[in-house]
Structure 1
């Protein structure tokens, strides 16, 4: 407790009294020696920073069962975000990323090295982050963002900057291409001391935060819509049976990546290196990303998964033929 910011301590005390002890805001104000309006702000702060997470349980709520099924099958911590079927893809993305931001903030500690990928999903997550004071924490860009049309610095740095601002952290950009023209060029660049400094930071990452790229998504993944891949690259990915990517490293729907030649030119961390990171938070929105999501889960890339209810339902239904009895049970539930 001693290392927490005083306002966070007050927010925590107010939340405990309000939610756990059923104290009124007037009673809390008297005990804390402050005003009722200040207590209201402290409670809002507690909710926005993730100290308090409110869950509404209804008989028709399928999210807990979906979470249990996904957790059992893929051995990940999972948060299913309930959304109405009437919402469009952009609205669903916003709801999922709001929940992701609230989930991520409590996990961020001082002296952490946090890797952040760029893309449509992480851009949305970064806009919902709330402030948390940390010390000695570093935000490092997971993969380069340059291509033949742009350095990518403006786009990627804005995402990284928002994370750094939210947590009072130092920011380290990775000013290299997303994909090199030649694998040999990448190998030589990786020997440069300025690049090795960033790579060393990446090897010390305690948390990695990323989305799953998909060419079929209604909200196009930036790697596919931003001029990073030409027609030859797309043909090569299709020939290799690629289902999606994480931080511009591609994989198939069974989680394998052997023989995907574009990965030799990618600036993102290899799947093996990504799996070494203790906490790996994957944020996914939209059922069009289901193939990529299944591939990422099959590859063991995520320890934590945040996704919308429709995508979670489709993920569970895709496994309904599994011999795992929990999936058979879920498939028999009305509405699944």
Structure 2
């Protein structure tokens, strides 16, 4: 039987298929025709303007920049949110990070998580079709001192909830007021076990900070450094941080009082996790992210086009 081609029939077929989600076989039974005729009707509906299909892609990528970052920095995992006037680059990078996580993790794995605004955006965008049999573990202690940031342990719990996964807490603050306080926490079996579980992570997602802005300032303020301690720290020329651990422009970890008052994995330990991806946005973070790349703390990067361009430009000048 030939497919009816009057506009009313095309509208009816298109409505059932595109709006009601009915199969072409079901539509064929309703219209008293064949499945192949329904297929032709749907094609005719599109050709005649009865149906218009628009793809609202909130996670458009910049493949040219992604390839350039791979080649320049030897990265394996790269996602770059394409430039869009007025777009929320933090949300765009968070969406890409959530997609990457969903595509990458496998059942039975351990997933490590740090903290920061970029990871908040990622966690908010996570939405999986079925529960994932993974365990989410913290890479740093909890208890942020900034009301605008979700505490690290809550971010771990929220990600696990969205993945339908299990999780582990690190029951201790990331930032301490003395080395003795940190050592006392490390002596606790539960805290030691939590940090050891972080070292067993198969995949880690970390934020990357840049000294002088954002979460990096939160860390330094939370440590309540004396003027002399802050001056000694800055004399080491720190440029960025990840997992509350600071490093210089060449990616060399910075020791001293700031290092000794933090409860978190070490940068050398982070390097040993098989897959570590950093999430960061904004060209103002170029120094911190560049230091992390040079230090080999991450083997992947999820970012926006502005920071990607800044990284490539900075690499050309060195």
The two structures have a TM-score, normalised by structure 2, of: 0.75
Give CA-to-partner distance per residue, 1:285-322, whole Å, 9 cap, x none.
Answer: 00111100001001101122111101101111112245
Distance in 2 separating the partners of 1:278 and 1:82: 28
User: Is contact 2:133–2:165 with CA below 8 Å preserved after alignment?
Assistant: yes
Equivalence for 2:23 = 30
User: Is contact 1:132–1:167 with CA below 8 Å preserved after alignment?
Assistant: no
- Could you say what secondary structure the match of 1:127 adopts? helix
Distance in 1 separating the partners of 2:107 and 2:269: 23
Give CA-to-partner distance per residue, 1:181-211, whole Å, 9 cap, x none.
Answer: 3324323422321112202211211111111
Give CA-to-partner distance per residue, 1:86-119, whole Å, 9 cap, x none.
Answer: 437xx22111111111111111221111111111
- Out of 189, 200, 209, the position equivalent to 2:205 is 209
Equivalence for 1:103 = 100
Deviation at residue 133 of structure 1 after TM alignment: 3.0
- If you compute each CA radius of gyration, which structure gives the higher value, 1 or 2? 2
Distance in 2 separating the partners of 1:252 and 1:143: 20
Judging changes above 3 Å, is the alpha-carbon distance between structure 1 residues 158 and 239 closer, same or farther for their aligned structure 2 residues?
same
In the alignment, is residue 292 of structure 1 matched against residue 288 of structure 2? yes
Deviation at residue 274 of structure 1 after TM alignment: 0.1
- Could you say what secondary structure the match of 1:173 adopts? coil
Equivalence for 2:248 = 252
Deviation at residue 166 of structure 1 after TM alignment: 1.5
Judging changes above 3 Å, is the alpha-carbon distance between structure 1 residues 97 and 142 closer, same or farther for their aligned structure 2 residues?
same
Where structure 1 has 5 or more consecutive residues not aligned to the other structure, the ranges are: 1-23, 35-46, 57-62, 323-336
Map 1:55-204 → 2, pairs under 5 A: 63-76=62-75, 77-84=77-84, 86-87=85-86, 91-134=88-131, 136-146=133-143, 155-204=151-200
Distance in 2 separating the partners of 1:258 and 1:222: 14
Distance in 2 separating the partners of 1:103 and 1:236: 39
Distance in 2 separating the partners of 1:283 and 1:309: 13
- Out of 224, 228, 246, the position equivalent to 2:222 is 228
Deviation at residue 222 of structure 1 after TM alignment: 6.7
How large is the Cα RMSD of the aligned pairs?
A: 3.3
Where structure 2 has 5 or more consecutive residues not aligned to the other structure, the ranges are: 1-16, 28-54
Deviation at residue 33 of structure 1 after TM alignment: 7.4
The size of the alignment, in residue pairs, is 272
